[in-house]
A and B are shown apart, each in its own frame.
Chain A
Amino acid sequence: MRQAVPLTITFLVGLLLIVAVFIPPLKDLERTFTLFFDIIAVFAFFLGGGNLLRVHFNKLRNKKPDWGYSIVTIVGFTWMLIVGLLKIGNPGNIASAVDAPGSLFYQTFHTVLVPLSSTMYSLLAFFVASASYRAFRAKNREATLLLIAAFIILLGRTPFGMMVSGWIPDSFSLLQIPNLAVWIMNSPNLAGQRAIMIGIGLGVISMSLRLILGIERSHLGGDKA
């Protein structure tokens, strides 16, 4: 029962959505099931958000290391809940959109979340430099190819590409770095992308079938649970 019902639900729902592609009266099922998912996600958030608060309250209560920061997390979370649910400072009060300009919710988003997100994103500039250093050590033929392709594309997108290869005559214009970069993107890169995408498609089909048919049950504890 504990496995049979979930497996049956998975099978029926999966089959229904596959068949719905070919049966026009069932086409709306996708949209309906997406709405179900969105509603279920909110209830799951009660569990997730509750867990977040529980973890931090526990840290606070037991004075675990860095418990002080848990106060900050709890205060931040509670602040957004209050200003968002009560729509404090919203121009049209409770009737207006929760993120209406001028509302405390909106202001907190722009003052706090936007700089934090942008800065985390900008860390990529540093990490890409360190990743490049490691990737470009060319330990084998595959890494060498990766390095050369990356280098050509990088140079091709800057003025240096033309500066370095501008001397190449027009009859061999393909070897000029900007043109070579375009050709690499449109030919070998495209080929590799296609092979990966076809493989992914087949992988998804296989895994989906295993889940729908109940062959894959590790999320339910496997055959022995």
Chain B
Amino acid sequence: MTRPSDSFGCPSAVRIALLVIAAVIGISITAAAQTEAAPADSVIADTTAVRVAPPTSVVAEDHKYDAGGEVDLSWVPSISESLQNSPVLGYRIYRSVNGNPEILLDELLPGEAEYEDKDVVKDSVYSYRVATIATDRSEYLSITTQPLQPQVENIDFNKSYLFLIALVISGAVIYFVETAKRGKKLFVRRIAGLEAIDDAVGRATEMGRPVLFIPGINDMDDVQTLAALTILGRVAHTIADFDSKIFMPVSRSLVMTAARETIKNAYQTAGRPDAYSDDMVSYVTDEQFGYVAAVDGVMVRERPATVFLLGAFFAESLILAETGNSVGAIQIAGTARPAQLPFFIAACDFTLIGEELFAASAYLSGEPRQLGSLKGQDVGKFIAMVVILVGVLSVTLAEAYQIGLFEGIFNWLSRIFSSN
């Protein structure tokens, strides 16, 4: 008589033994997998462990239009977040570089679904996993993303509209510069503050008192300081012509060097190189209010007849302007910081408002090419006005009456002016 067997021809005792061996192997593999899946701070689940779902749809993508220095990670947050008293503490991002063991990259709060890894290089290959952290600090990992090598894009097409607008405005400026060079007369309206410079310097000469020039308190990396220095060149020329004195205490050493160069060249151009002295420009201190204290002292002791306050100013603008006012000086001020303009308007005789500061040097030069650039600026303003008019009409008709054409125009304009 034969013993009972399964369809594979094994006796039942052997079957049972094989099942037991398989179960033991299976449990071992599972235990080993759980240990591997929780590289840091993992707690082997026991009957009181908190179980949460891992994030899903984890995708790593090369960040577009960069030099291969960023990878964008996105995922669908764990569904456990939607539970009442959500057991999700947050997320951990793990990264492997060139197949090496994973390291912890960052920890994020619950609800996060995106991450920008900016610490990548174009020659390496990266893969990621995102783990949900439960309240008992156990982790539940997602699957690993496909290996990814960041790419270099040589041109940022996201900024194509920015490029277009830069081209249009710059093109307008250059066009009118060239047109003016060919002899076309351009009208420029009167700017009272700039017209008053000659009289202000003449006053200083008559009174035998110096002209004080303050180029703001920022360094040469501020475009307002550059504007002040270009105006300084013109003003110094006038001062040299009038045989007046200029005194220029500055807050930055670089500005001191540039200003000396500017004034020296202005005196040379005016045919008065002998009248120039390096002592006309002196460095005081980088400290904002230390500089103001020193300049105030100069104002009350030297009693300048004319004070120029041109450039980048902050809270000290009012102190300087009021002190200049108190010594009876004529003050011509200008800044591109809207918050300081009211104080200059209140305390100074003439104020260059924002754009006028940058136009001043061109205006004072009287050179056709420079005046042409002012016309180019106006083209930029005209474009802005047209865009605002068309945009407002479009969005109004689109929102009030749901007319598709105008919605399209508005969306197109929004897209163009969002490209930055």
Contact = CB atoms under 8 A, between A and B. Distances in A.
A219 B261 contact: yes
Given A23-B155, A51-B282, A200-B336, A44 B358 contact: no
B173 A216 contact: no
B269 A224 contact: yes
Interface in A1-54: 18, 21-25, 27-28, 34, 37, 40-41, 44-49, 51-52
Q: Which 10 A-B residue pairs are closest in the complex by CB-CB distance?
A: A48-B253, A221-B265, A218-B233, A203-B358, A48-B283, A199-B355, A120-B289, A135-B346, A203-B355, A44-B253
Interface in A95-138: 113, 116-117, 120-121, 123-124, 127-128, 130-132, 134-135
Interface residues on B, range: 35 or more
B156 A216 contact: no
Given A196-B338, A215-B373, A222-B237, 15 more contacts: A25-B154, A41-B252, A113-B290, A117-B288, A120-B289, A127-B319, A134-B346, A199-B353, A199-B381, A202-B381, A205-B173, A207-B358, A218-B232, A218-B265, A219-B262
A210 B322 CA distance: 34
A209 interface: yes
A120 B282 contact: no
A198 interface: yes
B380 A202 contact: yes
Contacts of A135: 342, 345-346
B239 interface: no
A204 interface: yes
A146 B257 contact: no
A49 B376 CA distance: 41
- Provide the main secondary structure of the chain A interface: helix
B403 to A, nearest CB: 27
Given A52-B282, A221-B269, A224-B269, A131 B289 contact: no
A204 B374 CA distance: 11
B370 A205 contact: no
Interface string B249-267: 0001110111001101110
Interface in A169-225: 193, 196-200, 202-211, 213, 215-216, 218-222, 224-225
A206 to B, nearest CB: 5
Interface string B218-256: 011101001101101110010000000000000011101
A48 B293 CA distance: 18
9 contacts: A51-B283, A52-B282, A116-B290, A197-B338, A198-B381, A205-B377, A209-B173, A210-B361, A219-B262
Contacts, number: 218
B169 A24 contact: no
Interface of A: 18, 21-25, 27-28, 34, 37, 40-41, 44-49, 51-52, 55, 113, 116-117, 120-121, 123-124, 127-128, 130-132, 134-135, 146, 150, 193, 196-200, 202-211, 213, 215-216, 218-222, 224-225
- Provide the main secondary structure of the chain B interface: helix
A123 to B, nearest CB: 6
Contact of B289 (A49, A52, A116, A202): A116
A52 B177 contact: no
B95 interface: no
Interface centre among A28, A46, A198, A204 (most CB of B within 10 A): A204
A115 to B, nearest CB: 11
Interface of B: 65-67, 152-156, 159, 162-163, 166, 169-170, 173-174, 177, 219-221, 223, 226-227, 229-230, 232-234, 237, 252-254, 256-258, 261-262, 264-266, 268-269, 278-279, 282-285, 287-290, 292-293, 315-316, 318-319, 321-322, 325, 336, 338, 341-343, 345-347, 353-359, 361-362, 365, 369-370, 373-374, 376-377, 380-381, 384
A219 B261 CA distance: 7
A207 to B, nearest CB: 4
Contacts of B282: 51-52, 55
Contacts of B170: 205, 209
Nearest to B174: A209
A218 B268 contact: no
A113 B287 contact: yes
